[in-house]
Structure 1
Amino acid sequence: MSMGIGAVVLAAGMAVRMGRQKLLLPLDGKPMLAHVLEVVAAVPFASRVVVIGEPQEPLAALCQEQGIPSVFNEKRKSGQASSVCLGLAELGDGLDGVLFLQGDQPLITKSLVKRMLEAFYQLQDSKAILVPVHAGVLRSPILFGAHWLKELALLKDDCGGKELVRRYPEHVRTLPWAEPFVFEDADTWEEYLRLQRLLETKSKE
């Protein structure tokens, strides 16, 4: 299988609802972001980049440990679009598509990511927007075919890739996924504690 897919990890959010830098909070003995980076490092993407915010040095060090380039988003306060655009610019041209992952989804699995890449190539459609779905709800990460990369680079303010999912439903292709835990994120302290409990439960299985 050709691996012309790039990966952008969005890790420059302001964590307003959490009230602190959530991506460095410990989960199962390592920072939350490290869980996502390990998955990205284990999949043979054509190129990878992590878009980071503050504190810049420890976040960049986490990326370096996994051998993944990082780029600091000086415009992160303007919204997620700035991170999407910056990530795409760092990846460069010539890709078949780009997978956008959230830095605060630490239970994401290599099996889901690899299955998304396989499903995308089976579609053979540069206009495909591939989204995992569980219990009838569209989730993240999202994989955009090459056709959409220029439009993604024109997003403004707090619009992310989900804006294109809403705008072009006729091009959305879904990948049913049975495991709900992989989509869990942490926007609040209560959600972070829930992630801790989920990891503890999984470690005992």
Structure 2
Amino acid sequence: MKLQQTFNIGAVILAAGMSSRMGQMKVLLPWGENKTIIEHIIAQLREAQVNYITVVTGHSAKEVEENITPMGVHVVHNPQYKTGEMLSSLKVGLCDMPEHVEAALVVLGDQPRIQTKTIYQVMLAYIEGQGEIVAPSFEQRRGHPILIGKRFWKEILDLPIHGAPRDVINAHNDSVVYVEVDNDSILRDVDTPADYDEERLRAGLDKPD
């Protein structure tokens, strides 16, 4: 399926967090065959034909960049990653998007079970004109990745330091469409070692004891 012959959709992967509860850089944890979590997420986006991918780094920036450089993505550093990490990183990522990109997927760097088909569903809803902001949902709960059309970027860039992207999304409910998906990967991240072990089990990478 070729979704993007006339639509330029980019992705901002937020990978700047401190990983303090994990005790090590979570995006660099192993996932699948010879991949890290961040490499696996990039591969899912590539398979979904996302044509411009920016990874925003913060903590352990050098190690993250070295890990993903061979994948041909663009890497930008958020020097303010300790303050308002998600919003400040998203601002850095949106500013890195090329002029021709008309919408961006906001992708969390610690959601390794995100599936290509979910990314397709979100992009297709935008391409079909269903909404300028598209969010996946599972059992009426909004998750990631969320696609945000370019006309809303300035409002995100203008948010105060303690603001959140959801402030802009919630202010434009008439432009939001929700795509129901069949799995909870859009809601689950890996903040702790227990989370990581659970997600590996759910993905079939490990066998239960």
Which TM-score band (shorter chain)? 0.7 to 0.9
Please give the residue correspondences for 1:1-205 in structure 2 after superposition, counting only pairs within 5 Å: 1-29=5-33, 30-79=35-84, 80-123=86-129, 128-200=132-204
Evaluate the alpha carbon distance shift between residue 181 and residue 89 of structure 1 in structure 2; reply closer, same or farther with a 3 A threshold. closer
| Residue aligned with 1:98, SS | strand
TM-score by length of structure 1 reads 0.88
Q: Which amino acid aligns with 1:104?
A: D
Residues 62-116 of structure 1 deviation map (CA, whole Å, 9 limit, x = unaligned): 2212111111111111112211111011113343211110000111111111221
CA distance in 2: counterparts of 1:101 and 1:187, whole angstroms:
15
CA displacement at 1:150 relative to structure 2: 1.1
Evaluate the alpha carbon distance shift between residue 175 and residue 124 of structure 1 in structure 2; reply closer, same or farther with a 3 A threshold. closer
- Unaligned 5+ residue runs, structure 1? none
| Residue aligned with 2:159, SS | coil
Percentage of pairs with the same residue: 26
- Unaligned 5+ residue runs, structure 2? none
CA displacement at 1:176 relative to structure 2: 0.6
- Whether the aligned pair in 2 keeps the contact of 1:32 and 1:104 (CA below 8 Å) is yes
- Whether the aligned pair in 1 keeps the contact of 2:12 and 2:106 (CA below 8 Å) is yes
Moved more, 78-87 or 182-191: 182-191
RMSD: 2.1
CA distance in 2: counterparts of 1:202 and 1:176, whole angstroms:
28
Give 1 or 2: higher helix fraction. Answer: 1
CA distance in 2: counterparts of 1:52 and 1:70, whole angstroms:
7
| Residue aligned with 2:204, SS | helix
- Whether the aligned pair in 2 keeps the contact of 1:108 and 1:183 (CA below 8 Å) is no
Following superposition, which runs of at least 4 residues in structure 1 exceed 3 angstroms of deviation?
Answer: none
| Residue aligned with 2:179, SS | strand
- Whether the aligned pair in 2 keeps the contact of 1:48 and 1:68 (CA below 8 Å) is yes
CA distance in 2: counterparts of 1:5 and 1:46, whole angstroms:
6
CA displacement at 1:9 relative to structure 2: 0.5
CA distance in 1: counterparts of 2:171 and 2:22, whole angstroms:
29
Evaluate the alpha carbon distance shift between residue 201 and residue 62 of structure 1 in structure 2; reply closer, same or farther with a 3 A threshold. closer
Evaluate the alpha carbon distance shift between residue 37 and residue 162 of structure 1 in structure 2; reply closer, same or farther with a 3 A threshold. same
CA displacement at 1:145 relative to structure 2: 1.2
